Amino acid sequence: MLHIGCHLSASKGFEAMGKTALEIGADTFQFFTRNPRGSQAKTLDLQDVQKLRTLLNKHHFAPLIAHAPYTLNPASADPHTREFARQTLADDLARMEHLPGNLYNFHPGSHVGQGTDEGIRLIIEALNAVLTPGQHTTVLLETMAGKGSEIGRSFEELKQILDGVKLNDKMGVCLDTCHIHDAGYSLAELDDTLTAFDKQIGLARLKAIHLNDSLNPQGAHKDRHAPIGQGHIGTERLAQVINHPALQGLPFCLETPNDLDGYAREIALLRSLYRE
Ligand code: FE
Ligand code: FE
Ligand code: ZN
């Protein structure tokens, strides 16, 4: 069973996202919890959230991925930026309790010259401050391309974060195919890459896949997504990702540059390449 969807705009509300997903052949989707570059979160419309929950149940959706804003940086050198990151994480997780059983993904952060070890220490500190034993959301660290001083460019760095988090049974990883390719991992040698992931982190931690092609060659550390088949990864290798035995059952989410028709076409293409 292939669970696939794409990033959707949250501007028309929760139930609207579910309906859009159904229209384009998706059975999962991703959305920003608030403006990706800003801080303001709209007040939750609980009736709207409830309508989405009904729709998700009725149509057997896989877990959804809520994505934190890009501006979040718990590894910042600036204490105000770190405090904003903590408040946003805590507030988002509180809101996610209205959509229990789903995933919350964030970019671990950038150390901005303080060094990887200090960045990792600060990310661990933030997670230990915001995770709660009773939460019903799994928090995902996204694998990063390694542009600038981004943390999470290697499986080792993500493992170090997970090792430091006390409630790490609430934690997992979202693997972004464009990002790991840009970070230097091979999608041509997918078995080797997943073995490396398993050795460092453990495949049981892998909770979601961002399925993107990349505009740049392997190891470029750029993070520019391309439509499926129009980048350096290619349709064939992305088809191997959705068909890999170790990845069955995970939600696959497109973050390719596309309008809704484009997403519908990519979802249909990938469904046609899926071998049951
Ligand atoms: Fe992301
Ligand atoms: Fe991503
Ligand atoms: Zn990206």
Region 23-30: mean pLDDT is 98
Helix (H, G, I), strand (E, B) or coil at 7: strand
- Residue 44 per-residue DSSP state: P
Which contiguous run of DSSP H or E holds residue 66? Answer: strand 65-67
Which ligand is closest to the CA of 179, given by its number?
3
Chain mean pLDDT for the chain: 97
Distance between Cα 171 and ligand 2 center (Å)? 17
The rounded distance, in Å, linking the Cα atoms of 78 and 178 is 29
Whether residue 3 lies in the annotated active site: no
Options 210, 213, 263, 266, the catalytic residue: 210
Percent of the chain scoring above 70 in pLDDT? 99
| pLDDT value at 179 more than 90 | yes
Distance between Cα 107 and ligand 1 center (Å)? 6
Which ligand is closest to the CA of 253, given by its number?
2
Helices (DSSP H) in the chain: which residue ranges? Answer: 14-23, 46-58, 79-96, 116-130, 155-164, 177-183, 190-200, 235-243, 260-272
Region 180-202: mean pLDDT is 98
Region 53-59: mean pLDDT is 98
Region 210-217: mean pLDDT is 98
Query: What pLDDT, on a 0 to 100 scale, did the predictor assign at position 264?
Result: 98
* Terminal Cα-to-Cα distance of the chain (whole angstroms): 7
Which ligand is closest to the CA of 70, given by its number?
1
What sign has the CA pseudo-torsion 148, 123, 141, 84? negative
Region 218-229: mean pLDDT is 98
| pLDDT value at 118 more than 90 | yes
For residue 263, how far is the Cα from the chain centroid?
Answer: 17
Whether residue 176 lies in the annotated active site: yes
| pLDDT value at 133 more than 70 | yes
The rounded distance, in Å, linking the Cα atoms of 46 and 253 is 25
| pLDDT value at 42 more than 90 | no
Query: What pLDDT, on a 0 to 100 scale, did the predictor assign at position 38?
Result: 66
pLDDT band at 1 (very low <50, low <70, confident <90, very high): very high
Distance between Cα 60 and ligand 2 center (Å)? 24
CB contact at 8 A, 169 and 128: no
Region 168-184: mean pLDDT is 98
Distance between Cα 254 and ligand 1 center (Å)? 11
Q: Which of 96, 89, 102 is nearest to 29 (CA)?
A: 102
Options 153, 225, 263, 266, the catalytic residue: 225
DSSP-assigned states of every residue in 214-248: ESS-TT-----EE-TTSSSS-HHHHHHHHH-GGGT
Query: What pLDDT, on a 0 to 100 scale, did the predictor assign at position 37?
Result: 76
Distance between Cα 240 and ligand 1 center (Å)? 22
pLDDT band at 217 (very low <50, low <70, confident <90, very high): very high
| pLDDT value at 276 more than 80 | no
Cα–Cα distances in angstroms (integers) from residue 92 to residues 5, 119, 139, 162, 187, in the given order: 22, 22, 11, 20, 33
Q: Which of 236, 231, 238 is nearest to 257 (CA)?
A: 231
Query: What pLDDT, on a 0 to 100 scale, did the predictor assign at position 36?
Result: 75
The single-letter code of the amino acid at 1 is M
Whether residue 271 lies in the annotated active site: no
Whether residue 255 lies in the annotated active site: yes
Query: What pLDDT, on a 0 to 100 scale, did the predictor assign at position 35?
Result: 82
